[in-house]
Amino acid sequence: MTVKVRFFARFRELLGTDILVEKKSGTTVAALVKEIAEKKKEGYNAIFDEKGNFHEFVIVMRNGKRLEPAETTTVKVTDGDEIAVFPPVAGG
């Protein structure tokens, strides 16, 4: 099955975007994003904390629907899913 991962803003700068991944079923959202992010240390550190969890401010969406931090490690991706990972900004 194919899943698309979209990174926004700084995450996109670090990791690229619209990444198509071929996956066997059973992969969780967190595992999928982690696998892509691991290719670049800076990108990984921007998204995940030292325990390997999403930084608590990171917004993760699956098919336009927000996932709770806990859900990212339980919800499994399915064919055609689009996962979006977005860093809110704080400046003004």
Name the site residues for other proteins (rule: CB under 8 A).
8-10, 12-13, 56-57, 59, 61, 63-66, 84, 86-92
Task: For residue 48, give both structure tokens.
Answer: 């995940």
Rounded least distance, CB 88 to other proteins, Å: 5
Task: For residue 15, give both structure tokens.
Answer: 């990791």
- Measured in degrees and rounded to the nearest 5, phi and psi for residue 4 equal -105, 130
Rounded least distance, CB 87 to other proteins, Å: 7
Contact 38/88 with Cβ under 8 angstroms?
no
Nearer to other proteins, 26 or 64 (CB): 64
Rounded least distance, CB 20 to other proteins, Å: 18
Rounded least distance, CB 43 to other proteins, Å: 16
Separation of alpha carbons 80 and 69, rounded Å: 22
Nearer to other proteins, 12 or 23 (CB): 12
Contact 60/32 with Cβ under 8 angstroms?
no
Task: For residue 1, give both structure tokens.
Answer: 């099955």
Nearer to other proteins, 2 or 63 (CB): 63
